[in-house]
Amino acid sequence: MHEWNDAPREACGVFGIYAHGVDVARLTFFGLYALQHRGQESAGIATCDGRVANVHKGMGLVSQVFTEENLYPLRGHLAIGHTRYSTTGSSKLYNAQPYLIETALGPLGVAHNGNLTNSPQLRRDLLQRGVGLISSSDSEVITQMLAGAAGQTWEDRLRVFMSQARGAYSLTLLTRDAVYAVRDPWGFRPLCIGKMNGDGWAVSSESCALGTVGAEYVREVKPGEIVRLDERGMTSILGAPTAEREALCIFEYIYFARPDSLLEGQSIHRVRRRLGEQLAREHPVEGDMVMGVPDSATAHAIGYAWESGIPFGEGLIKNRYIGRTFIQPDDRLRRRGVALKYNPLPDSLRGKRIVLVDDSIVRGTTSGPIVALLRQAGAAQVHMRVASPPITDPCFMGVDMATRDELIAANHSVEEIAARIGVDSLKYLSLEGMEDAIQHPVTGHCAACFSGDYPLSLGEDIGKYALEGR
């Protein structure tokens, strides 16, 4: 990822499939392709034919890691897949997933989205028991905990693991006979189930990937639930009691999930439009054109324009491929920063009062250069409106969102931020307005990055490099 990318970065995307008579590795490839927005650092697929399990993984995008040649050996009727952005453990091949090991119960593959808050202690427990670890990822800790847990079935071992683990985990597991989907008792990270033609079933971080492989969305995996997919179909098993306070990450609605996904029965695109509409009600301003920072804030900007009556338009064109190369820009190009990623449209901007809508501001490192691009292209005024509250606290549940020292809103007032990024005015959506726009009172959400109110106590020494001794 380039240094000027200020967006919060999701942990991972996970996928799993049980289906006879189809190329499950190929379907998993396209499932991961649909989840590429959730992680761009590494990708992997593990398969099993009921006897032998195989895995292929590598650094890069899904399309860079897999070829026809390395997909071919991945045979069988069970598969799991993973695409990663590093949250615990740095971006190295030994941290790529899925992990695949041999155990007393046969092969075990693990793909993990989330972050365990007590992973340092769990890791120490494994090392003291003589278990060797090759990576700095809490996902390997999960794999080894399951491999060594008491119990004669994977369901028993999963229950033991769930009784000890704290924090965020949405898992897909590959065994000799079944694919499992597991979600932590708080429900921090999303996970859903889809039905394929015949006896096939699939699980995915988001519903958009189910549609890509021809599966029909059935429902979400419940917090604390274990779902087994095998020759008997789908079986629901209680893994751990649901937490008193469920805590789906609210940033899934704001930024992470693809607009065409469903979450808690709601269209992500429609929720983002409502966030923009609420933002317009809370913070109106006179302007000639509403535009979003492409592409993540487009739906928010459409909502703001609809509610405000100010026309929606495009002022920036995004090069969607600039972040998808391992070729690093030289110093001269690096100094151009966001100009590598965005080109302004002077005819749309010249002499206009622009209402610039963004989904969030994390470090503030891209907002200033974007505003400068608009002014250089002739914008008369730039008023920024943010479709979420100020981010004041770091995330420890599987989002690489920066430390408190790096969060601009944790260290500067709104007026100071406005001056730093060079806008005529800056306003954020209120916490209450955000919750009203999401309109889902049944399930709780984690909004700790905005409020500092974490849904569970935090372990010691947690952080992205906690297991690397940095």
User: Token match 């028991």: residue?
Assistant: 129
Separation of alpha carbons 400 and 8, rounded Å: 6
Is 12 among the residues known to form the active site?
yes
Catalytic residue among 12, 192, 208, 446, which? 12
Q: Do residues 373 and 344 make contact, with C-beta atoms less than 8 angstroms apart?
A: yes
Q: Which residues contact 251 (CB under 8 A, 6 or more apart)?
A: 8, 360, 388, 395, 399, 449
Asked if 294 and 316 touch (Cβ cutoff 8 Å), the reply is: yes
Residue 396: which H helix or E strand, with range?
Answer: none
What CA–CA distance (Å, rounded) separates 191 from 171? Answer: 8
Residues 14, 81: contact at Cβ < 8 Å?
A: yes
Residue 440, Cβ density class (10 Å: 0-12 exposed, 13-18 middle, ≥19 buried): middle
Residue closest to 209 by CA, chosen among 27, 84, 42, 390: 27
CA 181 to chain centre: 17
Q: Which of 123, 106, 32 is nearest to 71 (CA)?
A: 32
End-to-end CA distance of the chain: 21
Residues forming beta bridges with residue 101, ordered by sequence position: 108
Provide the 8-state DSSP code for 209: H
Contact 382, 354 (CB under 8 A): yes
How far apart are the C-alpha atoms of 278 and 300, rounded to whole Å?
10
Order of all β-strands in the sheet with 425-428: 289-292, 353-358, 381-386, 425-428
Nearest C-alpha neighbor of 448 from the set 402, 408, 393: 393
Nearest to 182 by CA among 411, 16, 63: 16
| DSSP H or E run through 56 | strand 53-59
> SS3 of 193, please?
strand
Q: Are strands 192-195 and 179-183 parallel, antiparallel or unpaired?
A: unpaired
| Token pair recorded at residue 99 | 């992990």
- How far is Cα 221 from Cα 85, in angstroms, rounded to an integer? 22
Catalytic residue numbers? 12
